[in-house]
Amino acid sequence: MFGQMSERRRAAATVGTAVAVALVGWAAVRLLGIELPVDKGAGPDTVQAADAAVAAVVAGLAAWAVSRLMVRRGVERWWPLVGSTALSLSMMGPSYQADGVAAMALMALHLTVGAVLIAGFTRPALRRCAPPQARNHRADQPVMIPHLPPR
């Protein structure tokens, strides 16, 4: 089923999965009794479910846009590097806004949502990068993948 989805549906499913993972992670953290501090400009506050969902939607839409741009330019094979770089930069927020267990919980939320987005937008990109003989090969035939010429 996942292989037959259109690109838009696959991207929407990836963003939706990221939101679901963010909400489940937030609920698990709250059930453990961990307060997640955030500074919204009007003083310290705690991260609510809506904050986690909105952050996941914004990150998902940004990942979708960057992934599409990379596909149009023919450099989609670099998406995992770009996505993981953005994920590492997003870790600065939790490391500055929280201490101890709260910082670890916020980083775990960032990692899980980032992993979903990186994996979700990598799968179609890698399939488009594969040479035709790798896309249509049978299990009993060896796959010959030519080396790419240097740029």
Six token digits for residue 121: 């937008």
pLDDT of the residue at 83: 94
CA-CA-CA-CA torsion sign (26, 31, 34, 38): positive
| Nearest one of 150, 55, 147 to 97, comparing CA atoms | 55
Supply the pTM of this predicted model: 0.76
pLDDT of the residue at 149: 63
- In DSSP terms, 37 is beta-bridged to 46
- In DSSP terms, 38 is beta-bridged to 45
10-residue mean pLDDT profile of the chain (151 residues): values are: 70 95 96 84 82 95 94 89 93 81 91 95 62 54 61 60
13 to each of 46, 47, 139, 143, how far by Cα in Å?
28, 24, 29, 31
